[in-house]
Amino acid sequence: MTLVPTDPIALAQALIRCESVTPDEAGALTLLQNVLEPAGFTCHRLIFSEPGTPDVDNLYARLGSGRPHLSFAGHTDVVPVGNDAGWTVPPFAGEIRDGLLYGRGAVDMKGCIAAFVAAALKYIHHYGGLPRGSLSFLITGDEEGPSINGTAKMLDWLKARDEVVDACLVGEPSNPHALGDEIRIGRRGSLNAELVVHGKQGHSAYPQIADNPVPKLARMIDRLATAKLDGGTANFQPSNLQVTVISVPNTATNVIPGYAVAKLNIRYNDTWSRPTIETWVRNTAARAAAELDAKYDLTFSGTGDVFVTQPGRLVSTLKDAVKSVTGRVPALTTGGGTSDARFIKDICPVVEFGLVNSTIHQVDEHTSVADLKLLTDIYGRFISNYFTSG
């Protein structure tokens, strides 16, 4: 059967049938390239690598060379299927049952990519090209993985070519209950920390000649985890610190370990920046350690600083498109985890809008066929209004 690129359902099914679990491309990017090139897009396959990480295949496709330059960003990589036996349908079959399209990536986010491609091609066919400006796709294969060899490096590649993006829509599934509920205009920052408290290994019967790090670690993380970081801001919910891992290098019940480790994740709002939240954690840990006479190391990692896209042309154009198609006035929110918008916000205003996210990463991930069609209409209205306004 010949694939009709302007049919979002068929395109979503075809993408789902590519078993592109991070970092495998599995034909998904090739499929998109084969759809976009005949429509006039210039496509670049960008393979990036870094020692200790898998190579990642990415796709940049652009139609036009002028401004304004509107980009759609997304990812074809998906998380593993999990319990394969628990799926009602094969996870990579792209089957439709009772009006629902099932498959890994149906929501996050192959369905969203299919909807935007279909909307873009309908718009281009209607006008015989772009009336003005440029339209592009930034599609990575690394969003669900370490996010090292994907969007961040694609943006560096664009910068080296002096390509400017004026606005970007990321197709992350943003709606909690119904299409049109929310547009995400920002994200909290995400910071990881590892706290290692050092002691002295010994026999548990002779604690006087050992130094148990576990109680000291427990008191330090209690001090960190119970502190109130802030009360939230106009755009964000309160910041929070969560202890996610506690471990010791010991399986024997009669041995005091030599060290103990805790891993923390901090989600912070615009009260903070990456440097200021790190300073708060360092100072709080130092005060607790001084009281406990604890020796410790504290290290940080993380790739997402807090950001918010203020209402303007991009936000209003998308909001109007959502309302015109669904009748709903979407809330402007900043909830959820992280996405590749955390990289894109450094080059242009960025928002996120996609499908209903209630089944992402789950067994039997699915979206309704009706929602895919509605999303295509929303994206189509958004593209049209963006290029005819301003």
Catalytic residues: 77, 143
Beta-carbon neighbour count of residue 197 at 10 Å?
29
Burial class (CB in 10 A: 0-12, 13-18, 19+), 313: middle
Residue 17: phi, psi to the nearest 5?
Answer: -70, -10
Reduced to 3 states, what is the DSSP secondary structure of residue 180? Answer: coil
* 8-state DSSP, 211: B
CB 332 within 8 A of CB 183: yes
Reduced to 3 states, what is the DSSP secondary structure of residue 274? Answer: helix
CB 193 within 8 A of CB 300: yes
CB 345 within 8 A of CB 88: no
Reduced to 3 states, what is the DSSP secondary structure of residue 35? Answer: helix
Beta-carbon neighbour count of residue 373 at 10 Å?
15
Query: How many angstroms from the chain centroid is the CA of residue 30?
Result: 22
- Is the preceding omega at residue 154 within 30 degrees of 0, hence cis? no
Residue in the block written with tokens 């299927």: 81
